[in-house]
């Protein structure tokens, strides 16, 4: 494994770093960034800046107008974008659109790509991924899916309730997972303004970085034509892995940028703040926390880069992506938690961006599978000897 950055990737890294710090960070005090994320006008403004800079939707294929980044290239670019919580929104690499774009590129038909994918890549539309349901429906266990799709002529009629649907409010496109009459799962594409699909409410959540927040979506007699089935009938759970395995890793990439930002803020404070006759960072207790931050950041970055490298080699990496998700979400959380402690009173107020990173970051240990579910999955594979690959490969 050679993780040395090519001259081209190093130049792209510096371009994104400069763009985020000079153009996007100043928007972090914009009043249009509210409890349910950046509003549509702020998102459109940020997207326009990235488009003008030639940095919009860099993970999409060149044929669609992106930069065609591989997984390891994404690891570098997405971390830089994540240095501001608004950076992924600007570059159009935030969840759920980033994962949905990847899924559609892999699975959608040519006609579906033209109709549904191009607007997403261009940043002119947003999407949502409707899989999670209220109890007793699907959550961390997708086999509990209760939303139904019944064939009626050339249409499918879908009924059910979805919740924690990120970006639902204001989305133009939905990817919907539903259970067929034989019990298998299928994905469907739908416009959000079709009769039979409604965002009932937006849920109050700890995080505030996703445009559209997290919604409750009711599907009541939603008719979807057969040409809007995504991929093959009955293959929904397999396609979910096409989307979720890389998406776990891109979450790790973006949040690593946020953890690095929190560390930089705490480090700057520890260098200049005086307490008991010396700079705060010279006190062993604070210095040790900064050293622990450095180790956790380095550990997270190595896991991301290693798993990204394996994905670039064509490995399946379900085990590796689960391990990276747990290691990174918990290491990055520890970094931000220490930064709040180092900043003291300023760490728990809006005086520093770290308090916002803290409340946003906590949810990361739950999104795309709680740590406990990934540990459970990994343990079963370890005991059965079914690990996909390993560091020894």
Give the model confidence (pLDDT) of 314-345 as tens digits: 888 889 999 999 999 999 999 999 999 999 99
Predicted local distance difference test score (pLDDT) of residue 389: 54
Query: Looking at residues 196-202, what average pLDDT do you find?
Result: 98
Helix (H, G, I), strand (E, B) or coil at 393: coil
What beta strand segments (E) does the chain contain? Answer: 33-34, 37-38, 127-130, 148-152, 155-166, 173-179, 185-191, 197-203, 214-225, 229-230, 274-275, 278-279
Predicted local distance difference test score (pLDDT) of residue 386: 78
Is the distance from CB of 117 to CB of 104 less than 8 angstroms?
Answer: yes
The percentage of residues in the chain with a pLDDT greater than 70, rounded to a whole number, is 98
Predicted local distance difference test score (pLDDT) of residue 316: 81
Q: Closest Cα partner for 180 from 153, 220, 146, 204?
A: 146
- CA separation for the pair 16, 24 (Å, rounded): 10
Q: Is pLDDT at 393 greater than 50 in this prediction?
A: no
The answer to which of 2-6, 105-109, 137-141, 249-253 has the lowest mean pLDDT is: 2-6
Predicted local distance difference test score (pLDDT) of residue 110: 97
Query: Looking at residues 238-264, what average pLDDT do you find?
Result: 93
Q: Is pLDDT at 197 greater than 50 in this prediction?
A: yes
In the numeric block, which tokens belong to residue 73?
């290239």
> CATH fold of 7-94, please?
Butyryl-Coa Dehydrogenase, subunit A; domain 1 (1.10.540)
Query: Looking at residues 72-76, what average pLDDT do you find?
Result: 97
The answer to which of 228-232, 243-247, 253-257 has the lowest mean pLDDT is: 243-247
In the numeric block, which tokens belong to residue 328?
């990174």
The residues spanned by each domain of the chain are: 7-94, 127-232, 237-384
Q: What's this model's pTM, rounded to 2 decimal places?
A: 0.94
pLDDT band at 392 (very low <50, low <70, confident <90, very high): very low
- CA separation for the pair 128, 95 (Å, rounded): 9
89-99: burial string, b at 16+ Cβ within 10 Å, e else? bbbbbbbbbbb
pLDDT band at 241 (very low <50, low <70, confident <90, very high): confident
Predicted local distance difference test score (pLDDT) of residue 388: 57
Query: Looking at residues 78-97, what average pLDDT do you find?
Result: 98
Q: Is pLDDT at 28 greater than 90 in this prediction?
A: yes
| CATH 2.60.40.10 fits domain 237-384 | no
In the numeric block, which tokens belong to residue 173?
């496109």
CB atoms within 10 A of CB 384: 8
- 127-232: which CATH architecture? Beta Barrel (2.40)
pLDDT band at 140 (very low <50, low <70, confident <90, very high): confident
Q: Is pLDDT at 17 greater than 70 in this prediction?
A: yes
- CA separation for the pair 217, 137 (Å, rounded): 14
């Amino acid at each position: 494994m050679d993780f040395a950055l090519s001259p081209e990737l190093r130049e792209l890294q510096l371009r994104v770093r400069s763009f985020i710090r000079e153009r996007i960070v100043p928007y972090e005090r914009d009043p249009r960034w509210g409890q349910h994320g950046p509003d549509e006008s702020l998102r459109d403004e940020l997207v326009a800046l990235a488009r003008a800079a030639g940095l919009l939707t860099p993970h999409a294929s060149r044929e669609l107008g992106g930069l065609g980044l591989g997984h390891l290239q994404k690891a570098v670019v997405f971390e830089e974008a994540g240095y501001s919580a608004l950076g992924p929104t600007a570059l159009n690499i935030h969840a759920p659109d980033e994962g949905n774009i990847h899924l559609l590129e892999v699975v959608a038909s040519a006609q579906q790509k033209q109709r549904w994918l191009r607007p997403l890549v261009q940043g002119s539309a947003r999407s949502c991924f409707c899989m999670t349901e209220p109890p007793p429906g699907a959550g961390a266990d997708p086999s509990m899916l209760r939303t139904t799709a019944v064939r009626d002529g050339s249409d499918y009629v879908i009924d059910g309730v979805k919740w924690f649907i990120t970006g639902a409010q204001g989305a133009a496109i939905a990817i919907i997972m539903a259970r067929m009459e034989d019990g298998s799962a299928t994905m469907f594409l739908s416009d959000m303004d079709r009769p039979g699909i409604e965002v009932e409410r937006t849920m109050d959540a700890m995080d505030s970085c996703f445009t559209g927040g997290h919604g409750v979506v009711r599907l009541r007699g939603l008719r979807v034509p057969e040409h809007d089935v995504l991929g093959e009938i009955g293959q929904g759970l397999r396609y979910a892995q096409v989307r979720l395995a890389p998406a776990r890793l891109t979450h790790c990439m973006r949040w690593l940028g946020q953890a690095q930002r929190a560390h930089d803020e705490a480090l700057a404070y520890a260098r200049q703040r005086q307490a008991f006759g010396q700079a705060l960072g010279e006190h062993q207790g604070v210095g040790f926390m900064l050293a622990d931050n450095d180790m956790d950041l380095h550990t997270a970055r190595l896991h991301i880069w290693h798993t990204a490298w394996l994905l670039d080699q064509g490995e399946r990496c379900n085990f590796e992506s689960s391990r990276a998700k747990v290691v990174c979400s918990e290491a990055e959380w520890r970094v931000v938690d220490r930064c709040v402690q180092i900043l003291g009173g300023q760490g728990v107020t809006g005086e520093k961006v770290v308090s916002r990173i803290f409340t946003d970051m906590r949810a990361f240990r739950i999104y795309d599978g709680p740590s406990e579910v990934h540990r459970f999955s990994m343990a079963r594979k370890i005991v059965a000897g079914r690990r996909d690959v390993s560091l020894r490969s």
